[in-house]
Structure 1
Amino acid sequence: MTPTRPRVVALDVNETLLDLAPVRAGLVEHGLAPDLLSTVFARTLLTGFAAATAGTWCRFRDAFDAALAQLTDLSAADRGRLADTFLELGPHPDVEPALRRLREAGVRVVTLSHGSPGVAEAGLERGGISPLVERTLSSEVIRAWKPAREVYLWAAGICDVEPARMALVAAHGWDVHGAIRAGLTGAWFPRAERTYPAVYDPAAIVAEDLGGAVDALLALPAA
């Protein structure tokens, strides 16, 4: 089916919108290598995905704590302080103009994360762009992790829009793949990943950056 211009655009939060630099700085403050962040973040996702696949569930914060416990010798208190740094995240420089472009075009904007509630709100507020976002959604509400199909369908239901008229923009191929499988329009751009994985369903849009993804969505034909 040919994708059409979305009425609602949902954006992933961690890495896609918000810069994880404060978490990296926290690792350094505890004497750890800055490049450990990518491994810790990947292990956090692995922990959450594995729990969900096995039929159980855990919070993002708990998965992050488990990843740190597996990869470092940090105390529980220090791991907790590192988890708190997610509330210090701020948006990447390209986020504000991209969100403003969507809003000026009459497209509703939401965030969709399986991260801890409050993280998206704090980051958007820090960047002064909260007014550009209609609502922030965390799948902790339904005890699920992306890329489970139910998360995207839940988000579409909350926004009162058909899945086909909702798009998901993310810098993670697995997230875009999940959205596509749920009937949303998927748009991917590189942030931490170099290419969109060929093993996934093709994304409707593969752009060079966030601005390009937004422009491509707005250029889709109206239904």
Structure 2
Amino acid sequence: MSLSALFLLQTGSPPQSLRTTYGDLPEWFASALGRPADTIRIIRVFDGERLPPPDAGTAAIITGSWSMVTDREPWSEALGDWIREAMALDAPVFGVCYGHQLMADALGGQVDFHPGGREIGSQTISLLADAVEDPLLAGSPRSFTAQLTHLQTVIAPPPGARVLARSEHDAHQILRYGPNAISTQFHPEFTPEIMAGVIRSRIDALHQEGRDPEALLTSVQEAPFPGQLLRDFLASRTI
């Protein structure tokens, strides 16, 4: 199927300290996708920019955020409505972190703070049995490294969603909602440098939680597969 455009539905922006060093989310995603930023239409949903009507001929990536789904911010609730409309059209949608949680919430799942607390750093993701037959994941490595940072999680997937991967900390790392809709709790757009920058930005909170930021920084590593997954999502489409 040939698609007319790629939307990046931006649900937040990094703190200034991260933006100064690494740029904003559109730059992170453009780099991960290996395409110029001007080939992606950026919709700053969190800033109140109007959402275009969903279209089966347009792919959308929903980004991570520094907000929480359970805050029920008006822009987020409007994006939830958009997700339901997009699903009714079988439009191609890929959700990341906040986008992952919001897709699950919008489609009838449950999102809340993870009972085990924060997941952060370079972590191992394990594919589950259903991933073997998934069109995007078939032939993928059974486990791989991914970059993560989140406090909230998908507590219960929506009806009909297929759980395709987990980590030791989180049981719902990849969800498949339909033939063209999938989401990841992990961040395919993060480089190791960005992951380290995020950890440094959370040092005080990590100390308060009894975590060791230096150990987390030492364990940061390359995580090439998640970026490939994002690119493969668009690979069969001409945009």
TM-score band by shorter chain is 0.3 to 0.5
Query: What TM-score do you get using the length of structure 1 for normalisation?
Result: 0.36
Higher relative contact order (CA 8 A, sep 6+): 1
- Which is helix-richer, 1 or 2? 1
Query: What TM-score do you get using the length of structure 2 for normalisation?
Result: 0.34
